[in-house]
């Protein structure tokens, strides 16, 4: 035997031995890195500055783990609160909410300490809230507090200049009185406590100023306001918070954020985990192998990939988790026809659709009856979606479980089509394009289902489907060019107003592009915002659901459920629908057999 052949033989034998002799590592595997939790995710962090971050990963990393809020959600509830930095949850009963429901008093817990050992003061709270509002970057989250507290969506005028009185307005609205922070809203707003539970992240003013950030003065606002890039803020890579974890580092090259335990955590024992590592691993196959080997404890998995992690030894899948997300099919009542490739001839001549095609409610209802919801749920979400009946997702206050909605009905669909545009649509047919953002498998499937449903009704109905890059998609939606398209909405805070407003109010995010306006809808939404009476609010939302059904500018497809994939050795995990990432609240987590 020649030397080369002998080496080849040895190599083959070695490989065979290794393959046979080494069992799957997962079976009976000891807990790997017992005091470190590793979450391998697909996305990237945007910023660790609490006033900038608006992406789920960044918020999910820091919120409540590093930066604490005044109040927090009780366990898995989204409408019941416990004190966090505040000593009490304001209510009418304890007098911390004024009779007119405009003034909220938050007594700050004197025991609260930042991770550097300094006390959390009311002044820190005020500074943090004001900083959050005054930073107001384009596309950022500041509008949530701005619109709620002072009734203005932005700190800038139409020309993009800072409003001269904005600092004073906010400064007046948020007051420090003794050990209390008193916030006065421009008008009653029922979801305010819910917003405070998610968006009142408190950081150390002293530490922020020491890092060169805003000094808290009116003169300094111009420099703080609307930074051009995420790294233009001094707290880009983190601030000092009072949470159970501290940011150790954000390694942007390796796309890793490392949190380390706050040994001096003020609420009690330090967390069981010494470190938590958030690491971007784009390739699913790599994430899966890391989970299998115990090099990751929690990983991101899409629905389409779920079957690939089922049955893995030492791996637990927690399915059917409530998430506050609504997926919908939007119809544009006044399509921008300028250079628009999606509406064919632009006329009702069988080769296109006119720009006001969807302004006829019969067209909209016909589409709603034509769509095959069961196939959609099965193929796009593996059945893991609750079919929709309005903008408010199931599980949230204001959702009407008995609200009427469309079901697939061929006869009714044909009847509506025959009525649409005086019967011309049925006689002459149409041609249009259904759009979705490319890369979104569920929406691609939904587009194909709609195409086949419509074309099966009438041979004169011609439907194309087209995926657009996300940037193109959003831009064209904003320009009103998309005739019929799929989009979704995830909660900024767990209140129905955060759903009915963007979906239905004439100033909402979606309705502008759809040209949908109903004065009764606007009135109901605004009334529900103002009243603190839960029953009256509920009635408003139920009525809005009825209007959503009768007007149907948007077909509410459903509320997908989520799932989390983790190693069985992860302990203390629980889920609240308002959590942004599957790791949830890190303070309660540990690892052990």
Partner 1 sequence: MLTFILRRLLLLPLVVLGTTILIFALTQLLSPAMRASLFVRDANQMRDLPAIVRKYGLDRPFYEQYGTWLRGVLRGDLGYSFVARQTVAEAIRGYFPMTVELTVLSFGLIVGVGIWLGTLSAVHKDRWIDHLSRVLSIAGTGLPTFVWGLALLLLFYGILPWFPPGRLSLEADLFVHSDQFRRYTGMMTVDALLNRQWWIFWDALRHLVLPSLTLAYFIAAVLVRVTRSSMLETLRQDYVRTARAKGLDEPTVIRKHARRNALIPVITLSSLVLVGLLSGAVITETIFDLPGIGRWGAQAAAQLDIAAVTGFALFVAVLTVLGNMAADILYALVDPRIRY
Q: Which residues bind partner 1 (CB under 8 A)?
A: 4, 18-19, 22, 24-25, 33, 36, 38, 44-47, 54-55, 138-140, 156, 160, 226, 228-231, 249, 251-256, 258, 277, 279, 281-283, 285-286, 289-290, 292-293, 295, 469-479, 487-490, 492, 502, 509-510, 512-513
Tell which residue, 44, 64, 53, has the closest CA to residue 250: 44
Residue nearer to partner 1 on the CB measure, 24 or 341: 24
Contact 540, 286 (CB under 8 A): no
Beta carbon nearer to partner 1, 217 or 471: 471
In the bound state with partner 1, the residue whose beta carbon lies nearer, of 254 and 533, is 254
User: Which one, 47 or 545, has the nearer CB to partner 1?
Assistant: 47
Measured CA to CA, the distance from residue 512 to residue 495 in angstroms comes to 21
Query: Rounded distance, CA 525 to CA 496, Å?
Result: 10
The answer to whether the Cα torsion of 376, 379, 385, 386 is positive or negative is: positive
Nearest distance from C-beta of residue 200 to partner 1, angstroms: 19
Burial class (CB in 10 A: 0-12, 13-18, 19+), 30: exposed
* End-to-end Cα, the chain, rounded Å: 51
Three-state DSSP string of 219-276: CCHHHHCCCCCHHHCCCCCCCCCCCCEEEEEEECCCCEEEEEECCCCCCCCCCCCCEE
Shortest distance, position 589 Cβ to partner 1, whole Å: 17
**Nearest distance from residue 174's CB to partner 1, in Å?**
24
Please enumerate in sequence order all residues whose Cβ is within 8 A of that of 200, keeping only pairs 6 or more positions apart, or say none: 69, 70, 71, 125, 128, 129
Strand 430-437 versus strand 570-571 pairing type: unpaired
Calpha distance 268→248 (Å, rounded): 21
What is the nearest approach in angstroms of partner 1 to the Cβ of residue 296? 10
Q: Which is nearer to partner 1, 92 or 475 (CB)?
A: 475
Q: Which of 156/378 has CB closer to partner 1?
A: 156
Closer Cβ to partner 1, 269 or 471, answer by number: 471
Which C-beta is closer to partner 1: that of 7 or that of 470?
A: 470
- With DSSP H G I counted as helix, E B as strand and the rest as coil, what are the percentages for the chain, rounded to 5? 35, 20, 45
Nearest to 406 by CA among 428, 429, 390: 390
Smallest distance from the beta carbon of 255 to partner 1, in angstroms? 7
Chain centroid offset of residue 292 CA: 28
**What is the closest distance, in whole angstroms, from the C-beta atom of residue 524 to partner 1 in the complex?**
22
Nearest distance, CB of residue 332 and partner 1, angstroms:
14
**Shortest distance in whole angstroms from residue 277 CB to partner 1:** 8
Shortest distance (Å) from residue 391 CB to partner 1? 13
**Alpha carbon distance 160, 170 (integer Å):** 19
Q: Which is nearer to partner 1, 44 or 110 (CB)?
A: 44
């Amino acid at each position: 035997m020649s030397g080369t052949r002998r080496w080849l033989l040895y190599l083959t034998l070695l490989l065979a031995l290794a393959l046979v002799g080494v069992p799957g590592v997962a079976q009976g595997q000891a807990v790997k890195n017992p005091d470190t939790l590793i979450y391998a995710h697909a996305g990237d962090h945007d910023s660790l500055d609490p006033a900038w971050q608006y992406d789920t990963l960044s918020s999910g990393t820091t919120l409540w783990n590093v930066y604490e809020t005044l109040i927090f959600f009780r366990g898995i509830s989204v409408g019941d609160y416990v004190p966090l930095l505040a000593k009490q949850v304001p209510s009418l009963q304890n007098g911390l909410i004024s009779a007119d429901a405009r003034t909220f008093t938050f007594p700050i817990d004197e025991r609260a300490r930042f991770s550097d050992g300094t006390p959390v003061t009311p002044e820190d709270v005020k500074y943090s809230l004001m900083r959050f509002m005054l930073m107001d970057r384009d596309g950022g989250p500041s509008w949530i507090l701005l619109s709620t507290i002072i009734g203005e969506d932005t700190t800038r005028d139409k020309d993009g200049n800072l409003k001269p009185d904005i600092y004073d307005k906010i400064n007046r609205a948020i007051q420090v009185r003794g050990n209390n922070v008193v916030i006065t809203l421009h008008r009653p707003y029922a979801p305010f406590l819910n917003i405070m539970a998610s968006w009142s992240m408190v950081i150390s003013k002293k530490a922020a100023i020491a890092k060169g950030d805003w000094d808290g003065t009116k003169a300094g606002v111009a420099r703080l306001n609307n930074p051009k890039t995420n790294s233009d803020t001094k707290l880009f890579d983190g601030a000092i918070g009072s949470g159970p974890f501290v940011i150790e580092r954000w390694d942007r090259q390796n796309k890793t954020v490392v949190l380390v335990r706050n040994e001096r955590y003020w609420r009690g024992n330090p967390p069981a985990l010494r470190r938590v590592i958030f690491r971007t691993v784009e390739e699913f196959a790599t994430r899966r192998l890391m989970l299998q080997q115990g090099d990751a404890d929690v990983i991101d998995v899409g629905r389409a990939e779920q079957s690939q992690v089922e049955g893995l030894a030492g791996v637990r899948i927690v399915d059917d988790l409530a998430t506050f997300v609504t997926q919908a099919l939007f119809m544009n009542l006044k399509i921008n026809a300028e250079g628009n490739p999606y509406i064919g001839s632009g006329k009702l001549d069988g080769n296109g659709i006119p720009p006001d095609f969807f302004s006829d409610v019969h067209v909209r209802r016909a589409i709603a009856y034509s769509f095959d919801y069961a196939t959609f749920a099965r193929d796009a979400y593996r059945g893991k979606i609750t079919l929709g009946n309005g903008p408010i997702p199931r599980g949230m206050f204001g959702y009407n479980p008995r609200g009427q909605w469309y079901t697939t009905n061929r006869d009714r669909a044909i009847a509506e089509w025959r009525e649409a545009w005086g019967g011309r649509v049925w006689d002459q047919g149409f041609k249009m394009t259904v759009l979705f953002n490319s890369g979104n498998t569920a929406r691609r499937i939904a587009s194909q289902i709609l195409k086949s449903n419509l074309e099966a009704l009438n041979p004169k109905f011609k439907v194309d489907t087209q995926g657009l890059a996300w940037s193109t998609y959003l831009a064209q939606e904003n320009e009103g060019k998309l005739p019929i398209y799929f989009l979704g909405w995830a909660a900024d805070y767990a209140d129905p107003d955060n759903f009915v407003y963007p979906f239905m109010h004439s100033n909402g995010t979606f309705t502008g592009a759809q040209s949908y306006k109903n004065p009764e809808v606007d009135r109901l939404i605004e009334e529900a915002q103002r009243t603190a009476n839960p029953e009256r609010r509920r009635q408003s939302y139920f009525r809005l659901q009825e209007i959503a059904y009768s007007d149907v500018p948007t077909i509410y497809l459903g509320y997908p459920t989520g799932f989390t994939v983790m190693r069985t050795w992860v302990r203390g995990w629980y889920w609240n629908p308002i959590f942004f990432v599957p790791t949830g609240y890190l303070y309660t987590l540990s690892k052990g057999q």
